[in-house]
Each structure stands twice: as C-alpha cells, then as structure tokens.
Amino acid sequence: HGTYLRGRGRMIHPSAIVHPEARLAPDVSVGPFAIIGARVEIGAGTRIDSNVLIEGRTRIGRDNRIFPFASIGAAPQDKKYADEDTAVEIGDGNTIREYVTINRGTAQDAGVTRIGDDNWIMAYVHFAHDCQIGSHTIFANYCGLAGHVHVEDWAILGGMTLVHQFVRIGAHSFTSMGTYLPQDLPPYVMAAGNMAKPYGINSEGMRRRGFDAETIASLKRAYRALYRSGLSLQEARGELEKIAEGCSAVRPILEFLARSARGIIR
C-alpha cells in the first residue's frame, strides 16, 4: 500500500487527497485513496481508513475510527437544499463502520447533523440531514434514519431499523431487527415490528448500566401505566407523575412525552 507520509505528527498515505486548507490535528492517520475537503477539521488520534470521503463543513473530534468507504458531510438528500452553508459535527471516540453515510444539515432545521461521543455505528447505517444523535448509542447494520430524527443517549437500534423523519427516540430504548418507527419511542421502552409496537422496558440494558432493582421496578410500573393499563395518554401521564414522585428516573419519560410532536408508539 505504499509508505505513509509523516508531517507534524500525522500519517497520510501518499495516495490520499487532503486539501491544504483542511485542519488535521497531530496523530491523525489518513489511509489510501481517502479524500478530505477544505473545510474539514479532524481531532487528534482519529484514524481515517482507505477510500473514506469527508467533505463540506465537517468537524470531527478526537480518537474516532472511520472505516473504508464511509461518506461524511455530503449534501443532504433534500430537494429544497440550495447549497446553504450547513455542517456535520461529530464528537469523540466514535466507531463509524464501512459504507456509513452522514449527510450535512439543512437551513430548514438546525443546519447541523450532530453526533455525540462513544457511539458504535455499524456498516451501511444512514444518518440523513439534521439528525441529532446523542452518546453511547449503538446502530446495527443497515439502520436508516430519515431527516430531523433525534436519538438520545444509550439507545440501541437493531439491524435494518427504519425511522420516519422527525421521530424522537428516547434514552436507553431498544429496537429489534427490522423495526419501523413511524412515531416517537419513549425512554427505556423496547419496540419491534412494522409498524413498531412496545414490548416492555429495556431492563437488561439498564442493569448493565448500573440501574438498581428498585429503579427498574419503578420503570416497569411506569411502562404498565403507559401501555398496559387501558388508560388514555393523559390519564397515564397522571399515573406517571405519581410514580415519578418516588423515582426520579421516571421523570425523563414525562419530559419526553411533553416534547413529542408526532405522538408515541402505543
């Protein structure tokens, strides 16, 4: 594959094309045939593998690993887009596998597609324009997020999960393989199917993250009030308020419901 060129602490393969105005921090590694545009910033310790394309106004943090054939910062797949100055922002410690596509934002929203820290993004995942991804999430192969989707911390999306535009996905939630989410998925809830239906709370995931048995029991009570009691959504909110008085972990569910514009899966 040839010899890497070293300069100011960087390792850049001679076949890579790195625009002279791109800002690469020390210890950045750029593999064969990668292309990095003029307005790209990459933090220390990040590794860019072969044939990766990074363009547009894109800022990538420290210690990320980007695998071959990923495309980051391309123009959004939105017919309204008229070459406005929009961006992609990626935090630290993310793993972005083969053929992942991350499009930049649009003027109709925040103008930024944003990804937090320590996310595990598997092959062929697509993040459309203006998606806002938290930290510590997992996206299995072939997940597809339409525009304006928000995903909170610690969510796990199973392979081939598809998410409708403007949907919100709550923290610590989980989807099974092949799930289609046309509406919001509240925190802690597991979903599966097309159309997605709720199937309990993600208790195993919460145990792994240090939630104690009492908190998990309270969240199960909250789930039953929301999904198994036969109550209307407004009535269920009243029950959740009561449960939240004794368990602060229930409060994010209420806050999520208050922000939901598309309604939740039920």
pLDDT of residue 26: 85
Catalytic residue among 129, 136, 150, 172: 129
Is residue 129 among the annotated active site residues?
A: yes
Short-list 4, 13, 57, 63, CA closest to 35: 13
**In Å, what is the CA distance from 91 to each residue of 19, 127, 240?**
22, 15, 34
What secondary structure letter does DSSP report for 62?
S
Cα torsion through 107, 113, 114, 115, rounded to 10: 170
The number of angstroms, rounded, from the C-alpha of 241 to the middle of its chain's C-alpha atoms is 29
Pairing of strands 120-121, 95-96: parallel
pLDDT of residue 5: 57
Residue type for 243, please? I
pLDDT of residue 9: 58
Long-range Cβ pairs for the range 153-161 (8 Å, 24+)? 153/116, 154/205, 154/209, 156/202, 156/205, 159/122
Report mean pLDDT in 10-residue bins for the chain, 266 residues.
56 95 94 98 97 98 98 97 97 98 97 98 98 98 98 98 98 98 98 97 96 98 96 96 98 98 95
Strand-pair partners of 151: 133, 169
Catalytic residue among 49, 109, 130, 184: 130
DSSP-assigned states of every residue in 142-174: T-EE-TT-EE-TT-EE-TT-EE-TT-EE-TT-E
Pairing of strands 197-201, 180-181: unpaired
pTM: 0.95
Q: What percent of the chain has pLDDT over 90?
A: 96
